[in-house]
Amino acid sequence: MHNPSLSNSRPRTGILVILLALLATASASLAQQQPAQADQRVVRVVGHGVVYGQPDVATVELGVTAVDPDAGAAVEEIDRRMREVLASLARLDVPQQDIRTTAYNIWREEQLPREGETTGQPVFRAQHMIAVELEGARRAGEILAAAVEAGANAVGGITFGFSDPEELKAQARAQAVEDARMRATQLAAAAGVALGEPLVIEEIPVTGGPIPYLERSMAVASAAPISPGQLSVEVQVAVTYAIQ
């Protein structure tokens, strides 16, 4: 008599045998790979590269502030002053598309009570700040002086930079790779081994932007003597070398 349970068990047994064979093959392959990874000898170093350059662009943040017991009057004052500031920038051929509003705020402030008063009188402060992007970092002083003369009474700061930093970054990368090679060579020599080929090269992100190298103090006057100085571009690379 045909026994269904016996016929059904044969295919399952065959599948189990195949799975066991595959598992044994994979284990043998893994066992062959592990010694190779364990025997791999490497040295990992971090190289640094820094290149300095003269900035050729600048961003000047400036604006106008007004205080008045009436909020509407404070707004009218900053609007009038800002129109005059923008007109002064137009006379210096600053393109309108290079000027953008960064802040427009109105808030209430409580003044300290005067003598004989129990409470102070509230006032409203209005502020309009703009950022002016300039081609030519040395124009920052000229622009700032003209804006202050036109009525700007708030200066947020000046930021210098590069219009195309890629060439400086390429030089810094080359320095970083060479620095890594020198470090690895010294380590290998100290350990009494020979340095092999680089196996992995990775660029490590450097936080922050260009670092000021030399920047003189700012003086807001008719000449506005502002020096952009120099900025640095820094690159770090991690390199893994084989050692013999």
d(CA 133, CA 89): 11
State the CB neighbour count (10 A cutoff) for residue 175.
18
* Section 167-173 average pLDDT: 95
Round the average pLDDT of the chain to a whole number and report it.
82
Instruction: Give the three-state DSSP class for 221.
Output: coil
Pairing of strands 57-68, 154-161: antiparallel
d(CA 94, CA 84): 14
Instruction: Specify the DSSP class assigned to residue 176.
Output: H
Backbone phi, psi, residue 61, to 5°? -105, 120
pLDDT in tens, 18-76: 555 555 555 555 444 444 344 579 999 999 999 999 999 999 999 999 999 999 999 99
pLDDT at 242 over 80: yes
The pLDDT of residue 31 is 47
